A and B are shown apart, each in its own frame.
Chain A
Amino acid sequence: MTAEVERLLHAIRTEATERLTQLHFPTVREEDWRYTDLTPIKEIPWQQLETAEVVEALPLPEADYQLVLQNGVWQRERSVICQDGLCVLGSVAGVIPQCSSVLFAHLGQYTDDRDYLTQLNSQACHDLALIYTSSKWEEHKTIGLHYLHTGHHCVSHPRCLIVLSPHTKLTVVEIYTGSAVEYWANPVTEIYVGEQAQLQHIVWQQQGRSAFHTKTTRVRQAKHSFYQIQTIDLGARLSRHNLHIQPQGEATTTIVQGLVSIAGEQLADTHSTILHSHPQGRSNQLHKCILRERSHGVFNGRICVTKAGQLTDASQLSRNLLLSPHARIDTKPQLEIVADNVKCSHGATVSQLDREELFYLQSRGIDQTTATTILTAAFAAEIINSIPLASLRELLRHV
């Protein structure tokens, strides 16, 4: 690692350590954490360990390049990297000068200084994955980031920086999977989408059923850029996604789609913020939860339009399907609009399977279990069908 990159990471860690002395672990007394109790995480004596055990990655045949990280540690021999006009690096040790200037310009610039979980991640930031398109990169590639987890009471704080130069295109898929033991993943992904650049971002969370997963995604969009994120939450005992998207120029397009499908005692919490502080931003958000048994979905979608955000067009919809009388959803749209010339809409629905639809299917010879599966898949279809990768769409046919 070059001395200057080493110094940069050191500074990030030191600052985080400093900030953490002023912060505390989130508690349910705070509005943002009302429904999601992190006490179990707080009480476990976590350790950072590399394990020899090999966890299988989910196949992603569409990926041109892949990075595999196990317990946050890059697995060089399992990865396919690239160091051309497109950089796909599992480590910033030995980066070329062009990349180190990217690190200096963006790393740690978009995170929240007061967020405890982010600072925990920063405090552990000895290395990171870097994905960068240089301005002369003209192709559209797909990159898979496989985050694998195992080891009882192991914690990892993986960090990833994604930077798209103006006019470039990229698809990035983050996949979080792991073993059945009790582990904790606390990843932070920072993203900068340059002018007129286009990023398709998919976050597939299928952690083990005993896992804790707290993720932070921070996105900045330059003017006329396009950013689409699709989050699929299937796993973990407790998952929380803090998603923050902030255009920093006019006429940006942002599409946010979330699909949660959980059961048992699982909890999946999504807190998102889209901050429109430039004119003519368009954002469209759709969040769907399928909740079975005693599972619990939480959605808090903040959309802020400042005075400078004239002609913003923002829509948000939260739709929830409760498949059990014991399942629970807490959904809250939060619109904070100061600008006067904007178009904003929001809505939330909570429903059970439609009895008439069920009967219609049964009257066609389809048993109730199959009918339930068909109607649940139909509820999710809107999101599944818009996922650009066929292999992931296919996997979702069966959840």
Chain B
Amino acid sequence: MADIALPPQDIPVVEGSYLENTGKHKGLAAWLLSTDHKRIGIMYMIMLFSFFSVGVVLGILLRLEMISPGGKLFPPQVYNALFTLHGVIMIFLFVIPGIPVTLGNFFLPLQIGARDVAFPRLNLFSFYLYIIGAAVILTALFVNGLPDTGWTFYVPYSLRTTTGVTIAVFGVFIVGFSSILTGINFLTTIHRLRAPGMTWFKMPLFVWALYATSWVQIIATPVLAITLLLIVISRVFGVGIFNAAAGGDPVLYQHLFWIYSHPAVYIMILPPMGIVSEIIATFTRRTIFGYKAIAMSSLAIAFIGYLVWGHHMFVAGMSQQADMIFSFLTFLVAIPSGIKVFNWVASMYKGSIDPQPPFLFVMAFMVLFSIGGLSGLVLGSLATDVHLTATYFVVAHFHYIIFGGGVFIFFGALHYWLPKMFGRMYDKKIASWDLLVMFIGFNLLYFPMFIMGYEGMPRRYFTYLPQFETMQHISIVGSWILVAGLIVMFVNLIHGSIKGPRVGPNPWGGTTLEWKTASPPTHENFEEEPVVIHEPYYHEEALTR
């Protein structure tokens, strides 16, 4: 780790970094037509965070509507469109593609010592499918008015409303294909392109997480694609698959939708779980505790995750037996996640912990993800779910899991890997204090929703009863604090990656392969193919027992 000590001006500029144009194209085209996984990853990042920003603005507006009971700020139609867009953008355009297409694209080949993914051109094609899908979804805004169905597009409402549902759903369908292709690409990459010596159990845990995620993408996404296509067919040709009057079944839609959308939760959360393991191993300077248990629990979550979709439908009127089985399986799927959490804490035991910003993000994750996960137990239990489903309690629960768990680790991962991507460091002091601001804002924003939900505040309401006013106001103030924190974070990261002090190949003392090449890496990733001897988190200086 000699390079940590070098003053920034003495760190040599990397020759032939992937940020320089070398191919036949110049300027913007050199990016837009690049099949380099690193450039594609960065292009995805720009797109994803643009959508995220739009989603956040919509979220702030959703909260602002609650400034007074009675919903005077926006008329109902607008509020209904706002939460639909907020949900569709956040879910389909931001968190589902999420970490795999951005950091996965960038770091999967680096972590397994490959030059690129297995099918670089398919990778670029997936990117354009994503762009086209997103464009189609955005077109829906300008045709027939904003969709107002909620991100779940439940029938029969979604078949009746006159708004641009058909187009929006078709856009989501296209984005789904991008997801499937990326999954296939990553699976092939992991199977075929690992560096010599990297056996399955020498793969970094982020790679394991991407592996499990890719399976979910490949197996679950087609169900979504078919379901959405059935909506389009029903709307355009009036086929009565989900239409009760024509002998169809509206609850069938809910089954199909959640058969995809529950596993999709694991598409959102498995990759961040992988990154948590990476960050902990680096900043504790020791190996991860229970490597195999963590790797296998990713797979267990991916597969049991298919069997629990019915927990979204406990009040839809399934049979008692179905309700019972789904509740039972839901509790079982909680166990592998719990095991991971215990292993992560155990990995800090006797470490030599350096709480740099990425590690602080992990600590915030542990708090927020635990709250999210434990509140999931309340929703897995039948009696309490019947009371709390479709209330603010659920809104709080999934924001804690997806935002507090998944997205906070996405941010943590940016703090971890940005120095590798751009060869420069952001301001660490600002990053750490800003995390505290975001953490406080987040809890003020969402914790009151648990309480309001328990007191019976339904979700997707543009208005509320006066007794909720105080809680609503706390939550609104929280949303402002959170957003202030987000802005500071992005400014700090962007400024750092352009103007920050230079760093060498391994600023954190990480042990996985991406730290063994230049920062930023060259187009070829490695000067010569690395050979793997040790387990991924082998810290030379650590004592062993």
Are A and B bound to each other?
A: no
Footprint of A on B, CB under 8 Å?
A: none
Chain A residues within 8 Å of B, Cβ to Cβ: none
